[in-house]
Amino acid sequence: MNCSSLISIKIATALSFLISPLQAQVEYVDPTIGGVALMLVPTRPLVHLPNSMLRVYPVRKDQVDLKISSFPLSIVSHRHGELFSIMPGDTGSPQFWDQETTTPYYYSTLFVDSGIRTEFTATERAGFYRFTFPEDQATLHLKNILPGTLKVEGLSAISGEERFKGMKAFIYGEFNQPVETVVTPGDMMKLKATASIGTMEFRYGLSFISVEQAKTNLTKEIPEWDFEAVKAAGKDRWNEVLGQIAIQGGTDAQKRVFYTSLYRSYERMVNITEDGQYYSAYDHKVHQDERPFYIDNWIWDNFRSLQPLHTILNPEKEADQIQSYVRMYEQSGWMPSFSILWGDNPCMNGNHAAAWFADAWQKGIRDFDLPKAYEGLRKNSLEATLLPWRNGPKCALDDFYHKNGYFPSLAVGEKETEPLVHDFENRQSVAVTLGNAYDDWCIAQLAKALDKPEDTKLFLDRAAFYKNVYNTEKGFVWPKDKDGNWIKAFDPEWSGGQGGRAYFAENNAYTYNWDVLHDFQGLIDLMGGPKAAEKKLDELFTKQISRPKFEFWAKFPDSTALVGQFVMANEPSFSTPYLYNHVGTPWKSQKILRTLLETFFPDNLHGIPGDEDGGGMTSWVVFSMMGFYPVTPGVPVYTLGSPVFDDVSIKLDNSKTFRLSAANNSCENKYIQSAKLNGKPLDRLWFTHSDLVNGGHLELEMGNTPNRTLGTANPPPSSLTLDTASLK
């Protein structure tokens, strides 16, 4: 869509509001956005309440799969499969679907051949299906997806369990009428209504503790046979949550992208506390604890923008989630990386809980056990293996890292020497060095908060390890062998084994050249100063890949949504478009950010350009459309980009409101001309977390040509020796 078209739509939208009331925010959510993946995994039209235990979507390949195979009673975890299965119809086989309605709180579809309508809504731990049948066809099929059992409870109830990875899931459910039961081959339970009525309803509770607890969850959360009341309560809850951010201006399409992204940002973490108790896979015990226990966080993805977003919107919940990680450490002996329902699933690399905890602490979140959290982070940094996709005691490669300050690389074709190295993910030697240097900087900030000067120095020294893999002659981060020699046969665009994973994770050296979140000043110095760094940024966004896309993506399937060598669709890139603020040309960030949002995040089935890791990518969209971003978690500062909306108001938990207004804003007027904070002129293009939580008003004047001097003399702070306390 071109700029003139957007202006026309914007004018029409503005006029429409003069004659009709503003829609509730949930009406702008379209769960089908991103439902056909560009390369990897699509989004799902997920029905749930924010951060709740029970989550449901129709089971099919993607949004254009013509048949639905079944409906789960919940999912195991984000992108980790389903629990139990229910399907209407005489055979329980996949059916053609049509007339689908998708919202965060309600789902409906019509099966074309059978004429059966299926509807679903949910509470936090209970679900409610409603099936409307043609006459004399009130039949359902219920089965276990995973190993388990199902049994009938009286005339109109069932219970069951499923087992997976040392865990159990339990259900207890009731039908609104008596049912006959026939167990068919494959242990599928066929349920047929004994009375010939057009609608069969099924309400059920989910538990990870027991069937009895599942029944309690159902009784407490859906005590009546009132589908519409549950649906209405879900809608109200989503409007309450989404209503924390009010926007004005922009097109309806942009509002759909924004509020859908905000909805996606509430999929994880997930509160699995049930009646003041929870089952933990980290020690396989049931714990009594009124404080919520959260699981399901992929930190490599989410420390960058999802957790910082909730640090603003939900600081109390954020403290609960961090304390959940502390309890996981206490129960298991290691700080988790990906806290899946069944325990730690140590995907990717890094000790990024450090970044999450440090960011929250620097932004005033105090309600967690910092000494115990620090103990776990320190242990993971110094005693655990840093190898990708591993957690546990260190190995010889880790000892090398601690002694020499970098993870050693193998030459292409050189045989692996360490048996703990993942056979597909490889060493990721440069990415591991960069990521852990940043994490150790974050640990240093927490050591400083705990008045541990020796540890502060230790971890600040380790934070400089990133310099050991920067090849100043080549101008790139570069793999280095165990003898301290640069790997010779190395191409920054292409080298690194399958998926680049010998040296990097999912991306090439062009992306990782900028993965030094804690010391951009030091990185710029290594590059030869601001002008040289600007030239390197320009090269990132303008140098085209030298191979056909199909060949490039065969090796780097996560590197989609390319702008030159820049990869919009993968997390290590998220901060990079904002870095022109650090090199003296912030107007370039403003231009590029608008281009990225307009190009890669439309309101359609292809509206997510890469894996949407449960809020990992969509939280970036929320921030960037508002016009600012937490470039370095752990530094309580937000860097300005180019706001999409004329006015953004964030309702804070302290009853204050932070407002960002952009006068003369449009798709052409993307450049910031001037800025005021609380009525005072601002000579920089960044502001602090204190400015935000104190309820400030940031006023921007927008125009269609760059202001080439604003913000150039006062770049965002970023250095190894930064005194973060001074930014509060």
pLDDT tens-digit readout, 120-134: 999 999 999 999 998
Q: What are the φ and ψ backbone dihedral angles of 660, each rounded to 5 degrees?
A: -120, 120
Residue 542 shares a structural domain with residue 685: yes
Structure tokens at 201: 């309803």
pLDDT grade, residue 21 (50/70/90)?
very low
> What type of residue is 297?
N
82: domain range?
A: 46-240
Mean pLDDT (whole number) for 211-217: 98
Task: State the pLDDT at residue 19.
Answer: 30
Residue 402 exposed, middle or buried by CB count within 10 Å (0-12, 13-18, 19+)? middle
pLDDT grade, residue 198 (50/70/90)?
confident
Confirm whether 41 is domain-assigned.
no
Q: Which of 214, 240, 266 is the last residue of a domain?
A: 240
- Residues 30/44, Cβ–Cβ less than 8 Å: no
The pLDDT tens digits of the residues spanning 51-98 come to: 999 999 999 999 999 999 999 999 998 889 999 999 999 888 999 999
499 DSSP assignment: G
Residue 556 shares a structural domain with residue 429: yes
pLDDT: is 185 or 231 the higher one? 231
- Residues 640/581, Cβ–Cβ less than 8 Å: yes
Lowest mean pLDDT of 19-23, 281-285, 581-585, name the range: 19-23
Judged by DSSP in three states, 139 sits in strand
Its sign, for the CA torsion 93, 96, 99, 105, is positive
Residue 178 shares a structural domain with residue 294: no
Residue 218 shares a structural domain with residue 276: no
Q: Which of 208, 240, 272 is the last residue of a domain?
A: 240
Rounded Cα gap, residues 589 and 576, in angstroms: 9
CATH of the domain at 454: 1.50.10
Task: State the pLDDT at residue 617.
Answer: 96
Task: State the pLDDT at residue 249.
Answer: 97
Nearest to 605 by CA among 256, 104, 241, 247: 256
Structure tokens at 343: 């325990």
pLDDT grade, residue 340 (50/70/90)?
very high
Q: Does the pLDDT of residue 3 top 90, yes or no? A: no
Confirm whether 459 is domain-assigned.
yes
pLDDT grade, residue 197 (50/70/90)?
confident
Structure tokens at 28: 């702008």
Confirm whether 11 is domain-assigned.
no
Confirm whether 714 is domain-assigned.
yes
Task: State the pLDDT at residue 20.
Answer: 34
pLDDT: is 498 or 424 the higher one? 424
The pLDDT tens digits of the residues spanning 419-436 come to: 999 999 999 999 999 999
Residue 591 shares a structural domain with residue 668: yes
| pTM score of the predicted model | 0.96
Query: How many domains is the chain partitioned into structurally?
Result: 2
Residue 503 exposed, middle or buried by CB count within 10 Å (0-12, 13-18, 19+)? buried
Mean pLDDT (whole number) for 479-483: 97
Nearest to 299 by CA among 257, 259, 350: 350
Q: Which of 240, 274, 295 is the last residue of a domain?
A: 240
Rounded Cα gap, residues 162 and 168, in angstroms: 6
What average pLDDT does the structure give for the chain? Answer: 94
Residue 236 shares a structural domain with residue 259: no
Residue 483 shares a structural domain with residue 579: yes
Nearest to 377 by CA among 634, 51, 635, 78: 634
